[in-house]
Chains A and B, each alone.
Chain A
Amino acid sequence: MKNKVTLTIDGETVTVPAGTTLRAACDLVGHPVPTLCWHENLTAANACRACVVELKGSRTLVASCSREAEEGMDVRTNSERVLNSRKVVAELLLSTSKSELAPDLLSLAQTAAADPDRFSGGATWEQPVLDDNNLYVRDLSRCILCYRCVEACGDDAQNTFAISVAGRGFEAHIDAGFGRALPESDCVYCGNCVAVCPTGALIGKTEWTLRQEGQWVDDNITVTETVCSYCGVGCQLNLHVLDNRIVKVTSPMDHPVTHGMLCVKGRYGYEFVQIEDK
């Protein structure tokens, strides 16, 4: 098997290693495609369809996040059909879910010149906030069903399988089973679902509370890097600090040990540090 393939993207010829996705190849030539559900450390879900591109000879557009580059492919990232699909995807999501905390969706909407009202007026995802534990809140009105949380909870990272997509069609949703509250579910509160959520549907309790109170100011947050001291694995922690208080802990998605994933101690054990300080 050849280990390099050469293809054309928007008229530019590019050679990439075999197995490279069209999305990555588009990035390489400087014609990035927008994505919503795709995440660098998770299996491509193929769900949002924001990343579709036009492939010569294909009846439909193809999802660039999962389609691998093949020799001789002729790809367009900005054809009329591509632009229409991107715009409609953004409009359909805007008509369904709350988007204020979804930067990727807002940016897609802007670049695609989406009209948020075009398909609105029908059924939406409006539903009560689920605040059933001390560590994170589920505001599913913001969910766009990207499957990231299910994958992070499942075999892409945590292997806990506490949540799944349930129901189908417009009623498809993320569920721990019959709407179980998290404390009754298999959840271990690693917060990896929160880390990969692109829309704020899953959000740390501290951040959610501060946002409710109007106290969360992105510009005032500083990030300090450290290494988690709970065990010897060596996970990098990024401590997000607001007004001298740790308000969120993340780990870089490109960190060789964590790949952005932590355990409950690393992600939510910070209150302990703050109690000691006092």
Chain B
Amino acid sequence: MDLDKAALSRRVQELLSDIPRERQQLLPALWRVFEEYWHLSPEMIDAIAQTLDIPYADVYGVASFYALFANPDNKKPIYICTDVMCALYGSEDLLKAGEDLANDAGVRVKEAPCLGHCDGAPALFDGRQTIRHASPKVLAQIIRGETDA
């Protein structure tokens, strides 16, 4: 195990230190690690597998099931709802604008299915909070990290 890997494994163990070693804690454990790194790499999955004593393939099988864990690297995902209701209110244009802007920023703009804010269309979810009636201006601010929103 090289140094980086060892450090990462220690960090994952730290993150999961107060989580009971039970199979039912897998989803909460995945969340803890994901929110630290905004993605789940093979090394992280391995560390979670070791810590919770669940087979590696099994942990990957569970993690890969959930759309919110599907992010290839540490660029924080920002989700724009492009489902029917939000699409009626221009969310597809918002997505395109966001994808262009995010190219140079440290974030990734992604499409999301219905976010449950159809009465505030178009809606976006920045990984922590939901923004209703999202405008290109607000989106740009979020992408540039100018707002906590």
Tell me, yes or no, whether A and B come into direct contact in the complex with CB atoms closer than 8 A.
yes
User: Which A residues lie at the B interface, using CB under 8 A?
Assistant: 161-168, 175-178, 180, 185-186
Say whether B55 contacts A178, CB under 8 Å.
no
| Chain B interface residue number, banded | 10 to 19
Q: By the criterion CB–CB under 8 Å, are A178 and B45 in contact?
A: yes
Most chain B CB neighbours (cut-off 10 Å) among A165, A176, A177: A177
Contact B57 A161 (CB under 8 A): yes
Other-chain residue from A175, A180, A185, A186 in contact with B61 (beta carbon distance below 8 A): A175
**Quick check: A177 and B65 within 8 Å, CB to CB?**
no
Q: B interface vs A, CB < 8 Å?
A: 42, 45, 55-61, 64-65
Q: A163-B57, A168-B64, A178-B42 provided; 7 other pairs, C-beta below 8 A?
A: A162-B55, A166-B65, A167-B64, A175-B60, A176-B57, A180-B42, A185-B57
Chain B residue numbers with a CB within 8 Å of A186 are 55-57
Main secondary structure of the interface of B (DSSP, over half): helix
| Contact of B57 (CB < 8 Å), options: A162, A167, A168 | A162
- In the complex, A185→B60 CA distance in Å? 12
CB A48 to nearest CB in B, in angstroms, measures 19
A-side contacts of B55, CB under 8 Å: 161-162, 164, 186
Instruction: Verify A166–B45 contact, CB threshold 8 A.
Output: no
Interface pairs (23), CB distance under 8 Å:
A161-B55, A161-B57, A161-B58, A162-B55, A163-B57, A164-B57, A164-B58, A164-B61, A165-B61, A166-B60, A166-B61, A166-B64, A166-B65, A167-B65, A175-B57, A175-B60, A177-B56, A177-B57, A177-B60, A177-B61, A178-B45, A178-B60, A185-B56
Question: Roughly how many angstroms separate A180 CA and B56 CA in the complex, as a whole number?
Answer: 10
Closest to A153 in B: B57
- Tell me the smallest distance from the CB of B20 to a CB of chain A, in Å: 21
For the complex of A and B, the 10 pairs showing the least CB-CB separation, nearest first, are A164-B61, A161-B55, A177-B60, A164-B57, A166-B64, A177-B57, A166-B61, A178-B42, A177-B56, A164-B58
- How far apart are B119's CB and chain A's nearest CB, in angstroms? 28
A148 CB to closest chain B CB (Å) equals: 16
Chain A residues, Cβ within 8 Å of B64:
166-168, 175
- Chain A residues with Cβ under 8 A from B58's Cβ? 161, 164
Q: Of A167, A177, A185, which contacts B45 at CB under 8 A?
A: A177
**Cβ of B8 to closest chain A Cβ, rounded Å:** 15
Min CB distance A215 to B, Å, is 34
What CA separation (Å) do A163 and B59 show in the bound complex? 10
> In angstroms, how far is the closest chain A Cβ from the Cβ of B61?
3
Q: How far is the CA of A186 from the CA of B42 in the complex (A)?
A: 14
Chain A, residue nearest B64 (CB): A166
B45 proximity list for chain A (CB < 8 A): 177-178
Identity of the chain A residue whose Cβ is nearest the Cβ of B42 in the assembled complex:
A178
Residues of A within 8 A of B59 (CB): 177
**Nearest Cβ distance between residue A166 and chain B, in whole angstroms?**
4
- The residue in A168, A178, A180 that gathers the most chain B C-beta atoms within 10 A of its C-beta is A178
